[in-house]
Amino acid sequence: MKRWSLIGLIALLAVSALAACSGGKDDSASGGESKNTITVKHAMGTENKVPADPKRVVVLTNEGTEALLELGIKPVGAVKSWTGDPWYSHIKDEMKGVKEVGLEGEPNIEAIAELKPDLIIGNKMRHEKIYDKLEQIAPTVFSETLRGEWKDNFSLYAKAVNKEAKGKEVLKNFDNRVSELSKKLGDQKKKRVSVIRFMAGQSRIYYEDSFPGIILKQLGFDFPEKQKKLFEKQKDKFVFMTESKESIPEMDGDVLFYFTYQPAESKKDALTWKNDWTSDPLWKKLNAVKSGNAHEVDDAIWTTAGGVKAAYLFLDDIEKYFLKS
């Protein structure tokens, strides 16, 4: 009995030693990271082990798509752009060969599974209800929300694909571009900027927590006094929504930018809504309109895309309208 026990013990030790040297994927005993995986804490309150070098990434937000592209990763699948067919014009060339997997608000689970991803990137605000289904397909990482602060999500995505250093470089370069442009703008930054969006059946005034608002504030711009008073009345500093033309006077500014959200699948015509508002006498009385400082810009760049590539193009628009016009 003692002899067989000794032999069993030796065999067990041999197996343990072999496992320790094998470099296998299962590193759960130590709770650390192996050469094959990294650990990412994300919005679902868990720490997920994801591939250290993902090859087949599916991304379920538009700003997430831009983040991956800027980090040098081409996803195998992505949700279609809100107004693209299927991709926004500013990323279309980079997205050739990428499989569309439905809308950001309603991803196609079957299409995602067919791509056999090794990593899925999504968003809690959009996709919390399908998180468990996604996790059954591949390791999944969620950002928390989709508001104006795109940099927070970008940093998480860079971590998820194991490109934190590259991510920090991208953000540093963007901040440097903002700093350089801010210096060039000089006294132009004293002008109060208004940002207006037209949708089918609704008009919006964007403020400091929105995508355009955050970048404008970083550049050194401020908002019109009427809008400051307007947003004092509500907790949300992101957007004011209205269906009444009586709100048009509050849209004024020294410079006004406006754009229209017209998704391809919408049965309601946002362009008709926009034309109705911009032909109204109240609109024509706005100082920005009368002085020729009301500019129509691209909805995708100014809010819908919401990612790093759009942010750079946003800066190009600011330079164009304030310095080159």
Full domain range(s) for residue 134: 37-161
| Residue 128, CA distances (Å) to 58, 66, 114 in order | 16, 21, 21
pLDDT reported for residue 9: 38
DSSP summary character for residue 268? S
Read off the pLDDT of residues 55-113 as tens digits, 9 standing for 90 and up.
Answer: 999 999 999 999 999 999 999 999 999 987 899 999 999 999 999 999 999 999 999 99
Q: Residue 207: which of 191, 223, 190 has the closest Cα?
A: 223
Read off the pLDDT of residues 187-236 as tens digits, 9 standing for 90 and up.
Answer: 999 999 999 999 999 999 999 999 999 999 999 999 999 999 999 999 99
pLDDT reported for residue 35: 77
Instruction: Please check whether residues 199 and 105 belong to one and the same domain.
Output: no
Read off the pLDDT of residues 257-284 as tens digits, 9 standing for 90 and up.
Answer: 999 998 866 767 999 999 999 999 999 9
The model's pTM is: 0.88
Instruction: Please check whether residues 246 and 119 belong to one and the same domain.
Output: no
Instruction: Please check whether residues 207 and 300 belong to one and the same domain.
Output: yes
Q: Is residue 257 part of a domain?
A: yes
Structural domain count of the chain: 2
* DSSP helix/strand/coil, 24: coil
Domain boundary among 145, 161, 177: 161
Q: Residue 210: which of 188, 231, 187 has the closest Cα?
A: 231
Read off the pLDDT of residues 228-259 as tens digits, 9 standing for 90 and up.
Answer: 999 999 999 999 999 999 999 999 999 999 99
Instruction: Please check whether residues 156 and 199 belong to one and the same domain.
Output: no
- What is the chain's length? 325
